[in-house]
Amino acid sequence: MLQYDFEESVGYWITITSHFYQDALNQELMPYGITFRQFQVIGWLVYEGPLSQVDLAERMMIEPPTLVRILDRMERDQWIKRESDPEDRRRKVVKVLPEARPVWSQMVACLKRLRKKATQGMTADQVETLKSLLMQVQENLGVKVSEVEIV
């Protein structure tokens, strides 16, 4: 078997930490009947405003057909609405509905609890350094980094 020093790999630590963070968030959301994917939908729409289904799937790093099933349930629950783009009737734009406000409030409370847990034992300066280093990694990988508040 080929050898690789996983524990010395920045990619390993970023990937595994992301996996554990997402899993922990999913556990925080579960008692409220909210999934991590539903959080992602509302989170991206709150952050960026209305998005096409294709753009939303891209940001969530999932295939568009997978997103459709998530959106079907969220539309049924009146959290989001899909409308035809006035400039391209084939394109669907997803918007958050006012009915999602209580759900978003629960999500934010979960995010804040998880953020506190994840940064326990770190100083404010260490948290800022962590965010700065992760932004530097993104920039090094060619990602345009914006000032996004980390959840």
* 11-67 pLDDT per residue, tens: 999 999 999 999 999 999 999 999 999 999 999 999 999 999 999 999 999 999 999
Q: Where are the extended beta strands (E) located within the chain?
A: 51-52, 80-85, 88-96
Q: How many angstroms separate the CA atoms of 12 and 98, rounded?
A: 39
pTM of the predicted model as reported, rounded to 2 decimal places: 0.84
Q: Output the CATH code of domain 29-114.
A: 1.10.10.10
Q: How many angstroms separate the CA atoms of 39 and 8, rounded?
A: 32
* 57-98 pLDDT per residue, tens: 999 999 999 999 999 999 999 999 999 988 888 899 999 999
- How far is CA 147 from each of CA 5, 22, 135, 144, rounded to the nearest angstrom? 32, 21, 9, 10
Q: How many angstroms separate the CA atoms of 72 and 122, rounded?
A: 40
